[in-house]
Amino acid sequence: MGDKGDGTLVVHAGLPEPVPGEPFLPGPVFAAPYHLDPVNGPGENGYGRPDNPTRRALEAAIGELEGGQVRAFATGQAAITALLLSVLRSGDTVALPSDGYFTVRAFAEGTLRDLGVSTVLVPTAGPYPSFEGVRLVLLETPANPGLDVCDVRAVSAAAHAAGALVAVDNTTATPLGQRPLELGADLVVASGTKALTGHSDVLLGYVATGDEDLLARVTTWRAQTGGTPGAFDCWLAHRSLATLDLRLARQTANAAAVAGLLSGRSDVTGVRWPGLSTDPSYEVAAAQMRRIPGIVSFDLGSAERVARFLEASELVFAATSFGGLHTTADRRAQWGDDTAPGFVRLSCGVEDTPDLVADLSAALDKS
């Protein structure tokens, strides 16, 4: 499928060969133990923690999109901590984004520090320090929630020259937005909870890599620590993947219209969307990304104005997470994030663009 478009790719990703009488996407296989061959012992399916065919089909699908081998986890955090703990050892240093997903920093400042792993925090937009003595560089681009973008190819080259591994959190972009393994990263980690599955009903994470040794370490880690997603969630995720191209197309179109609307208003500041030609990340994003995600961030000045805006809007749901079918807004400071009180991360859904623009415009006027 290498020469096919994104829509074709996601519709067919991970599906078995057609068999008359069988469904396109086989239903979830619910099993803890499987029947064993009493003579020859376990085959492909022995026990549910390491082995599940529904999960393997999903992993094959995501693997086609990322261009690597995939191990699925119960959540994005399970995938990220699996990566960190299977690669890092006492005495190592990890470089993490200072403006990325805050739970990762909290984990580094707690568990990793206690295990003797040091952390250097680097802003996604740079400048990047020397990576001498660093074991792993984790990038997050676009960074959640500030949406700065970094040049994965350039940072990977610098990190590799210093002997460091590079992982990219691909949650915000999804593999249709960028392919970090093709840009030189050793690993991808991501939350599939967001745009990848996109229906606000599943928690999921994954690690992808083309390196057999790293894959083996992550596989062993998962088999021993057990943070696997259930079969039903894997099936829901695989089913949702088929519409990824369509969902992202509408989300991006909505974000473009919303970013245009917001940046034209004097009562909204700090509008960020890497697809705006005036955005500080525009050039790197345009060169590196295959499409720009449907997330726009901005500042309404105060928590009170954000509340008034959300009450006045008919279409924007107050909710955390992002990438779903419904437009949602999250005032990140309410979670103890180090963002300004009026900072909003808006996730554009798949509503009709004129409806969304009209609703946002009216809600801002009323607030």
- Chain residues binding ligand PLP by CB under 6 A are 75-77, 80, 101, 140, 144, 169, 171-172, 191, 193-194, 203, 205
Q: How far is the CB of 267 from ligand PLP (least distance, A)?
A: 28
**Choice between 194 and 247, CB closer to ligand PLP:** 194
Task: Report the alpha-carbon angle 279-187-200, nearest 5.
Answer: 65
Distance, in Å, from the CA atom of 4 to the CA atom of 2, rounded to the nearest integer, reads: 6
Note whether 67 and 210 are within 8 A (CB): yes
Strand residues in the chain grouped as ranges (E): 69-73, 93-97, 118-122, 136-140, 165-169, 187-191, 205-209, 269-272, 295-299, 317-318, 328-331, 343-347
| Closest CA relative to residue 174, chosen from 193, 158, 160, 155 | 193
Question: Coil, strand, or helix at residue 301?
Answer: coil
**Choice between 101 and 298, CB closer to ligand PLP:** 101
Q: How far is the CB of 193 from ligand PLP (least distance, A)?
A: 4
How distant is the alpha carbon of residue 120 from its chain centre? 22
Distance, in Å, from the CA atom of 332 to the CA atom of 248, rounded to the nearest integer, reads: 23
Pairing of strands 136-140, 165-169: parallel
One-letter amino acid of 224: Q
**Choice between 12 and 199, CB closer to ligand PLP:** 199
**Choice between 141 and 156, CB closer to ligand PLP:** 141
Q: How far is the CB of 367 from ligand PLP (least distance, A)?
A: 26
**Choice between 57 and 80, CB closer to ligand PLP:** 80
Q: How far is the CB of 308 from ligand PLP (least distance, A)?
A: 27
Q: How far is the CB of 140 from ligand PLP (least distance, A)?
A: 5
**Choice between 151 and 330, CB closer to ligand PLP:** 330
Q: How far is the CB of 73 from ligand PLP (least distance, A)?
A: 9
Look up tokens 């970013």; give the residue.
259
Task: Report the alpha-carbon angle 327-333-337, nearest 5.
Answer: 105
Residue number of the CB closest to ligand PLP reads 76
Residues 6+ apart with CB under 8 A from 56: none
Q: How far is the CB of 322 from ligand PLP (least distance, A)?
A: 7
Q: How far is the CB of 66 from ligand PLP (least distance, A)?
A: 15
Q: How far is the CB of 195 from ligand PLP (least distance, A)?
A: 10
**Residue ranges in 264-292 assigned as alpha helix (H):** 282-288
Look up tokens 């104005």; give the residue.
305
**Choice between 291 and 345, CB closer to ligand PLP:** 345
**Choice between 294 and 363, CB closer to ligand PLP:** 294
| Closest CA relative to residue 79, chosen from 172, 189, 187 | 189
**Choice between 174 and 252, CB closer to ligand PLP:** 174
Alpha-carbon distance values, 361 to 84, 141, 260, 282, 356 (Å): 43, 29, 11, 24, 8
